[in-house]
Structure 1
């Protein structure tokens, strides 16, 4: 009998946990006694109404929202060799390599039912060979990739599905700190999940390792798999695309109330360009700047070390046409405070092409308002130098540059086979880190350094971790 009693206590411990098991054990060790009669207590229940009004609930709003939020499934085919990444043995024994399918899950939002457009994050579909979307009614359809922008982490897909519902897009100007928001997505592959919170901050731009930033910060739980899902207001309008959570222990450690979403105004602008051209073009002011520190502030006679001081203005650039000079200090752009050089760079990266810009500039103790526009740079090699004909150039991804401020250069995005650039040794994926024509850190600086068409042109290339100097003929 004693053994049966002990077994019962252990079974209870496994089922209900240590606290309950301890209570059962203590009860079993007490001498038998007649149980007193206790009147049953009524179960507590929330009232149906308060002051004549029904209790608030998110359920009616979510019934209109959840059909527009989808799960995104990606597959990527990779070749795995027993020789790892050793290029020699991989070429010698290709038959030993095996194909493996990497799968991942994310979320997306239907934003245009007529076109079948679905917004998600770039990092959700990056490198995928196959993308499918599962709708809230259980249908799974293959998605067509339209385009993506790594620097804002926005991607656009199209799904060939009927009877789908799009979320209405909110206006950014209406979003304030303290507004209630709801996140809808597919965390950890569990299926559609809803979490709620408030807007903790707007205009966040100091998140490590991410590209151009203007994030909505929220304490609504955003976990792995929520990426690309919807952040909505209480009217059921889309205010943002959930993109990341921040945790010093890593994203798999769980939510700590620091979630970030891309504002829908920015996502809308990117989506428009992707739907039209399949890619995103950005404008530039055409100048280099440096953060104003205490030493520079003292040298310029400034009371406060704040702003971005102009260190170089490129010939023919929007900055040159607007009359900006070396030594000018930019302290605001379109009314947005500019505290350092990174803030000005981030501002430029978030603006639409040819967008008007009003800069507030300190010059010789006076404050000036300078009007200009962001202009896109030609990216074809022929417009840079005839010896580069056939190459297409791009700036480094902003996320990569932010991870290492010392990294600079120009990316060779594409090279036409047989072209002059190809014959001169340029290849897709090369990084031009230096040239004998002058110093530069980006495409605007590279173009400016070649404005005088040097007789001899030598480029220093970084290719798969190796550095080589190549003569352009």
Structure 2
């Protein structure tokens, strides 16, 4: 007897690829993580904007501060004196990676003195002359303890330079400082030597010294270098004392860089 087909037998179901696709529902924990990340990115963006605004505000504050205006006013007056603009031609802006200071050329072939802390970890370094010429500067020699550095630049023409003062600086001697303080460049102010001891290990001067002055030359009234500015004192508020500029006497510079005695043009 033949088997009869079973009409009530269920047909076998063959799954399709679409059956293996499904929408993964986002868990509440994942949602909170995404929301937290968005808040973090938004906070970072706000902080960056605030830092940028603070930097701009600081630049404008420096630009219009009373100290800045007084420096410019005094410099404009002194620049009318004979030979002052000639002295300025040898004073350069030292521009490094993330920093700015002052230096000055001491040889027509391009030897520049500045502070060690002005060029420390600042590669690449550029020396910008008042005429707009920008020259790559190579560190020839640097003394951390004295905070002085000697740079070399190369130019197709002889460069303006400053001479050293042969005689020792004296107490109450009238002096000039030329540098790039705050947001300004080629600023000159006048003062006098305050030391009452001899020989001078550190040159104390009455000139107003600000950030950016580091590496500035201290000049006699003849325009000869007697020192290199590196800092200033900060008296306590209760002391009533005035801030003093601090400079490295040129005699000490020649002790650590004796070769300058031979190559410097008298």
Q: Deviations over 1:347-375 (max 9, x none)?
A: xxxxxxxxxxxxxxxxxxxxxxxxxxxxx
1:109 to 92, 104, 109: 104
CA distance in 1, matches of 2:137, 2:261: 15
In the alignment, structure 2 segments of 5+ residues that lack a partner are 1-77
- Normalised to the residue count of structure 2, the TM-score between the two structures is 0.62
Which of the two has greater strand per residue? Answer: 1
2:89 matches 1:67: yes
Change (3 A) 1:160 1:221: same
2:229 matches 1:236: no
Q: Deviations over 1:380-407 (max 9, x none)?
A: xxxxxxxxxxxxxxxxxxxxxxxxxxxx
Change (3 A) 1:203 1:148: farther
Q: Which has the larger radius of gyration?
A: 2
In the alignment, structure 1 segments of 5+ residues that lack a partner are 1-55, 76-102, 206-212, 277-473
Aligned CA-pair RMSD: 2.7
- Normalised to the residue count of structure 1, the TM-score between the two structures is 0.36
CA distance in 2, matches of 1:156, 1:260: 19
Q: What is the CA distance between 1:198 and its match in structure 2?
A: 0.8
Change (3 A) 1:144 1:163: same
Q: Aligned residue pairs: how many?
A: 181
SS in 1 for 2:213: coil
SS in 1 for 2:193: strand
Aligned to 2:33: none
Change (3 A) 1:136 1:249: farther
2:130 matches 1:136: yes
Aligned to 2:173: 179
Q: What is the CA distance between 1:166 and its match in structure 2?
A: 1.1
Higher RCO (CA < 8 A, seq sep 6+): 2
Q: Deviations over 1:391-444 (max 9, x none)?
A: xxxxxxxxxxxxxxxxxxxxxxxxxxxxxxxxxxxxxxxxxxxxxxxxxxxxxx
Please show how residues 113-192 of structure 1 align to structure 2 within 5 Å: 113-114=108-109, 116-161=110-155, 162-173=157-168, 175-192=169-186
Q: What is the CA distance between 1:172 and its match in structure 2?
A: 4.2
**2:99·2:122 contact (CA, 8 Å) conserved in 1?**
no
CA distance in 2, matches of 1:189, 1:157: 23
Change (3 A) 1:181 1:141: same
Change (3 A) 1:153 1:145: same
